Structure 1
């Protein structure tokens, strides 16, 4: 009897213990649920917080989206570079087909630069009014159309006109791309992003001679609609590919959120930031933890129209921006005059050096002088000779070696720009390249002269540092315009340099090289007078302009 009572008591105890365990587990679930609800509430409260634009931009992170932007902008820069200097490999091969003289070659080399110069202001205005992406996308497609059309040229004037229009369209992205790239990155990553993306420019100096090596020496031809296509014409087609690929990428990429913020307000910029966040974090746009962006007033670029753009443009030529404009534009002129102005002649100079029959150690200038004298004599005996336009095959691997040096220099800039400093790095490059330019004209050994030429052409790498220096001081409503005008002045330097060399290489070669080198090295003194960006921004923000 007592055993049954004890057994019954034990069963009741077990039942009570089970009930207690069930209650505890239920309590734990309730606590967990409360914690989850509290965390969700905190997230909702956090999401409802108002965030300034720069903080919201930082929240988007740095990942796949930024890498795609960098790659796309790199392809755009690659396309601009190839369209600008690609004709330097064509002029020798097309010399007989189009009857090119030395003066014609200078004009053909400068045609794209002249097109870029003449339309830079227009594209700057359109870029600041309608958007960076909206301007670059259609212009890149049309530039490829005109570039391919130029391959069908039957005389020098047709080629000049089509290359000019190609340059006009290339101008849309030649400087706007720096505004777009800079606005897609935080201020701490902007300089490095511009430097890394600019490294693609160096790839053009490897890709162009590589393609030329594969295509131009060929003896083949074929008919297309009754028109005879020869290697140099197909070569022009080949350098249009990067721009078309970049155009496809821009179809997916959005407009710059900073531009949208300045012209349409924070509500329109927020979805772009959410898209950047989703891509970088492998998340959904709805998970972007910012509900509202707090930023100042809209800029007047959109409502003011062309008159407003002219009014804003005038700010570039008034303090405090006047000093920035004068310094950055003068430096860009020097960079392009030396790098691009000289580069378009380098394949022709190398071809002259490699085809020289002199057994003595003579300078580049002596070789060039002999070539011009030979060309003058052949002109007098033109009726007795047949035109021959062959390119020494050794030109191409040497040019690719140049490209490799440029690539290493660009990559080094990307690594050291944050450690050494932008201004110090720029000045060092330009001084070294300027001195190398002077030396290249006086060194009697061909190998040493070629090496100095390669070093002097590395001055073009400094063009990637100047936008990183200048982009911080210009407000959003002026940034594309300022970059376009700066590159317009730079391309003017390229056109001046190309034609100046074409006019002086035969009779005043050493003087020309000396002037180029001394001017480029000496211009770096201006960087000492560059103002502090924080002071400029503070003063411009007091005038109601946003960054």
Structure 2
């Protein structure tokens, strides 16, 4: 083997290696850290765009004439956009590339999000928030494919876990920014519109997405995607760039000169017909079992975490307002509130519209976010030590049990603590994503992840609706069913196939990973 100064000479056989070996030789360092930061900011942006309006609707109530029904529509608008376009973005992510889809969509989502801050009526705000959600959807799951494909198989799970830590930052950053901005009494004229704090608050949460878009400008497309769609020659320059960043050297010093395909060359079908042919593989063995288990599991994760999260502020408000000296359960407190409301005499009192937000909401929300952050950090540390499936199942069983227990514990502080633990079930979504990306081939990975998260957000919408419809009348049953369903879905993991067996079967058909 002829090498000088650790470099392979061009044209030598030693410079021809399989893709995975070439990927390993690119090393791990600065490049991977930048990818992780960029992906984390994207996930932070998705989370802030999704739930940020929950802090705005109260402050904008008088300016836009928001009723309770309109508030519900506005807070759900981003989810509506994400759910309705997930399939489309998954298709485009697998056909055009991960970066090629995320970059323009992120820039456009920032534009529409900022535009929504200038809304003069509820319908303008609603339409712009739906459009923002449609564009945010391009990154909401595709980023997991991009982040996973930028790391070796041994580092993929931990990279996704560490990237997901940024989601928890949104639950600290959003209330923190709201605390600083929304209570302000300032205003100024901009054109024919008076800019007030809640409008500036929307501008503030657009920053992470725009920074991530700037970083994507200097980052390349996923080399695994390029290998799958265009062949080894297209992936080689990206690996050389990774090597140069990680080793602080030139691209020309990358020792690999040629990548040898490790699998049979797949028959490439172009256009929509080719995409449909690929998608059909999701509904056939060996992927069908993976699709059913991962999608049902993600539905359960979002149903509990996001569905319950929408009602926790109201539940906590009821606990804090309870003046009884007796130790009462959450459900008893809610029932007493309903009885008091029924016994009250309704009077119409004319008074000026007031939309002040209680500042006490913000520090409590930030404390909850801190708990989520610690949970995500713990996942990043232990995911490779404990194992993905074991860690996922453990979290879901604990969160399911605490959901049931929260309804039966006759002590407000203990019930609040149990609810916060139950909400940590949302952190399990990153583990489930890490489990899933291992089995889906490159040409289907973005689609599978987008549809999985679409199903998850459908679970969030359904969970929020069901909990709202049953909380006042069937409180104990609601908490028990939610908790039992969440814990019970972990049994599906017993049937999760070995990733290597799935990969081998699909590689025999010419699909690449």
Q: Same fold (TM over 0.5)?
A: yes
- For residues 123 and 344 of structure 2, the distance between their equivalents in structure 1, rounded to whole angstroms, comes to 23
Q: 1:213 to 1:44 in 2, by over 3 A?
A: same
Q: 1:470 to 1:104 in 2, by over 3 A?
A: same
Q: 1:322 to 1:73 in 2, by over 3 A?
A: same
SS in 2 for 1:473: coil
Contact 1:114-1:495 within 8 A present in 2 as well: no
1:163 to 129, 133, 142: 129
- For residues 7 and 495 of structure 2, the distance between their equivalents in structure 1, rounded to whole angstroms, comes to 53
Q: 1:442 to 1:224 in 2, by over 3 A?
A: farther
Contact 1:378-1:385 within 8 A present in 2 as well: no
1:212-291 matches, within 5 Å, as 212-291=178-257
Q: 1:227 to 1:444 in 2, by over 3 A?
A: farther
Contact 1:124-1:176 within 8 A present in 2 as well: yes
1:463 aligns to what? 429
SS in 2 for 1:92: coil
Deviating more after overlay: 356-365 vs 134-143? 356-365
SS in 2 for 1:218: coil
2:118 aligns to what? 152
1:16 aligns to what? none
Return 5+ residue gaps in structure 2 as ranges.
Answer: none
Contact 1:46-1:289 within 8 A present in 2 as well: no
Flag the structure with higher helix content: 1
- For residues 389 and 65 of structure 1, the distance between their equivalents in structure 2, rounded to whole angstroms, comes to 47
Q: How far apart are 1:367 and its partner, in Å?
A: 4.7
1:338 aligns to what? 304
- For residues 283 and 534 of structure 1, the distance between their equivalents in structure 2, rounded to whole angstroms, comes to 35
SS in 1 for 2:259: strand
- TM-score relative to the length of structure 2: 0.93
Q: 1:173 to 1:231 in 2, by over 3 A?
A: same
1:63 aligns to what? 29
- For residues 336 and 223 of structure 1, the distance between their equivalents in structure 2, rounded to whole angstroms, comes to 41
- For residues 533 and 93 of structure 1, the distance between their equivalents in structure 2, rounded to whole angstroms, comes to 49
- For residues 204 and 5 of structure 2, the distance between their equivalents in structure 1, rounded to whole angstroms, comes to 57
CA-to-aligned-CA distance 1:129-151 (integer Å, 9 cap, x gap):
11000100111111112222222
CA-to-aligned-CA distance 1:252-282 (integer Å, 9 cap, x gap):
0000011111111111111111110001011
- For residues 267 and 65 of structure 2, the distance between their equivalents in structure 1, rounded to whole angstroms, comes to 52
Q: How far apart are 1:394 and its partner, in Å?
A: 2.2
2:413 to 439, 444, 447: 447
- For residues 353 and 480 of structure 1, the distance between their equivalents in structure 2, rounded to whole angstroms, comes to 43
SS in 2 for 1:51: strand
Q: How far apart are 1:393 and its partner, in Å?
A: 2.0
Q: How far apart are 1:51 and its partner, in Å?
A: 0.6
1:108 corresponds to 2:74? yes
Q: 1:39 to 1:480 in 2, by over 3 A?
A: closer
Q: 1:148 to 1:307 in 2, by over 3 A?
A: same
Aligned residues: 512
Deviating more after overlay: 500-509 vs 481-490? 500-509
- For residues 258 and 444 of structure 1, the distance between their equivalents in structure 2, rounded to whole angstroms, comes to 54
1:511 aligns to what? 477
1:81 aligns to what? 47
- For residues 302 and 34 of structure 2, the distance between their equivalents in structure 1, rounded to whole angstroms, comes to 28
1:314-329 matches, within 5 Å, as 314-329=280-295
Deviating more after overlay: 370-379 vs 266-275? 370-379
Q: 1:397 to 1:41 in 2, by over 3 A?
A: closer
- For residues 15 and 168 of structure 2, the distance between their equivalents in structure 1, rounded to whole angstroms, comes to 45
2:360 aligns to what? 394
1:26 aligns to what? none
Return 5+ residue gaps in structure 1 as ranges.
Answer: 1-35
2:396 aligns to what? 430
CA-to-aligned-CA distance 1:205-233 (integer Å, 9 cap, x gap):
11111111112222333332222333222
1:482 corresponds to 2:448? yes
Contact 1:354-1:394 within 8 A present in 2 as well: no
- For residues 324 and 215 of structure 1, the distance between their equivalents in structure 2, rounded to whole angstroms, comes to 45
1:178-197 matches, within 5 Å, as 178-197=144-163
- For residues 109 and 252 of structure 2, the distance between their equivalents in structure 1, rounded to whole angstroms, comes to 38
- For residues 217 and 370 of structure 1, the distance between their equivalents in structure 2, rounded to whole angstroms, comes to 32
1:137 aligns to what? 103
Q: 1:157 to 1:365 in 2, by over 3 A?
A: farther
* RMSD of Structure 2 on Structure 1 (CA): 2.6
1:381 aligns to what? 347
Contact 1:96-1:387 within 8 A present in 2 as well: yes
SS in 2 for 1:457: helix
- TM-score relative to the length of structure 1: 0.87
- For residues 250 and 189 of structure 2, the distance between their equivalents in structure 1, rounded to whole angstroms, comes to 53
- For residues 96 and 458 of structure 1, the distance between their equivalents in structure 2, rounded to whole angstroms, comes to 34
